[in-house]
Amino acid sequence: MSETAKFILGDKTHEFPVIVGTENEKGIDISSLRGASGYVTFDVGYKNTGATESSITYISGEEGILRYRGYNIEELANKASFLEVAYLLLEGELPTKIQLAAFEKEITYHSLVHEDVKYVFDAFPNGAHPMGQLMTMLSMFSAFYPEALQPHRSEEDKKLTIIRLLSKMPTLVAMIMKKKQGHPVVYPSNNLGYVENFLKMTFGHVTEEYKVDPVIVSAMNKLLILHADHEQNCSTSAVRLVGSSRANLYASVAAGVAALWGPLHGGANQQVLEMLEAIKEDGGDTEKWINKAKDKDDPFRLMGFGHRVYKNFDPRAKIIKKSADEILAKMGIEDPILDIAMKLEKAALSDPYFIDRKLFPNVDFYSGIIYRALGFPVEMFTVLFAFGRLPGWISQWREMRGEDQPIGRPRQIYTGAPERPYVEMNKR
């Protein structure tokens, strides 16, 4: 007999089914609650609310587990390419050699953006935030490719929209970087891989040949994989909610970028670097700031340590720490900011205060260090987060649309004024 949950409301008992996920996650299906009782549940921030069923990503915060389509993140990050993981998220299975080759060819073929896009970039002021530029350009793709607005298209046409978005994202990100630098655009090369091409467009120059460093390629590949999806977070929920109105893919992903822009979500790695800068400006005394973090009466807290989902450790941090060490050793960078970061890391991994509270360095801590070492300005960090998260957003949008889920419509508890009569102007 299936498990059920009973709600006693007044003199009536309402029974609701319990649904069970693949990993024995349990949820109470209250989809008929309001109709049956007139009540709604109240859950600010949706911390205890499951808005959908999904077969894409599994997270166990208690056990430090992250899996894409059943595959552990450790194996994917160490063995797979980013496009291989993107294919997995989109299609549900790892590609064969032939499937991956065809996928990579399609991505390469569509990596150029329309030449008129450059005119839009020219219109942005020099101080325009990179995330604002990215959000604008993604939503504007629906103007360059209006066929995406048509709801009843063939599967091939829908796939082409997805391919275009995946292939043009690194080109857009690189163009944003070049805009910030005041440098001419570097066009993609069809003879380079996905990550290699992005690095060439970002750090290459029209005046000289760019040499791809395999250590940097490996680190960038891992970072993109580690950020590719993370279940029903704020930005993913935004993509799904906007997409549930039947908004096109470009608009839905632009909504995800808008959500990611918030400092409580995608801005975490940027906050890490801003904290390190503040410590440097204060003289670089890490011990002083560690003590401030320990002081319960001090509002200061170390950014990049602990995680609201992972209660023991962030599985992504363990993976990317090795890449961070390799990058710093390879490049031999002398940077007081990175020196401070390493001192904080050492303290967090050895100090009982941090160990007892599970305040270990998370993926944002190490990703910020790597991006800094590679030469990305802090304002680009969240853009790079969006770059990696793109296949997850697309997969979530595609899953939601494929299941023909209804438009999202959260309820509320009204706490405003009760009904009252209109007061004429001369009586106010």
Domains in the chain and their CATH numbers?
4-50 (2.20.28), 72-258 (1.10.580.10), 268-374 (1.10.230.10)
- Average pLDDT of the chain is 92
Residues 6+ apart with CB under 8 A from 257: 131, 134, 135, 138, 235, 386
Q: Please give the single-letter amino acid code of residue 298.
A: D
Is 250 in contact with 141 (CB distance < 8 Å)? yes
- Positions of the chain with pLDDT under 50: none
Q: Kindly state the DSSP code that residue 208 receives in the 8-state scheme.
A: B
99, HSE (Cβ side, Cα atoms, 13 Å):
12
Measured CA to CA, the distance from residue 336 to residue 171 in angstroms comes to 32
């069809």: which residue's tokens?
190
Is 51 in contact with 359 (CB distance < 8 Å)? no
- pLDDT at position 1, please? 54
DSSP H helices, 54-129, are 73-79, 82-91, 97-109, 117-123
- Phi first, then psi: what are they for 195, rounded to 5°? -70, -45
Q: What is the pTM of this model?
A: 0.93
**pLDDT, tens only, 191-210:** 999 999 999 999 999 998 89
* Residue 412 CB neighbour total at 10 angstroms: 7
Is 304 in contact with 272 (CB distance < 8 Å)? yes
Residues with catalytic roles: 307, 364
* Residue 82 CB neighbour total at 10 angstroms: 25
**pLDDT, tens only, 168-180:** 999 999 999 999 8
Task: Give, in degrees to the nearest 5, the angle at Cα 236 between 174 and 202.
Answer: 10
Measured CA to CA, the distance from residue 162 to residue 392 in angstroms comes to 12
Measured CA to CA, the distance from residue 225 to residue 105 in angstroms comes to 20
The number of residues in the chain equals 428
Residues 6+ apart with CB under 8 A from 40: 33, 34, 411, 412, 413
Torsion of CA 196, 199, 201, 204, to 10 degrees: -110
Q: How far is CA 367 from the centre of its chain?
A: 13
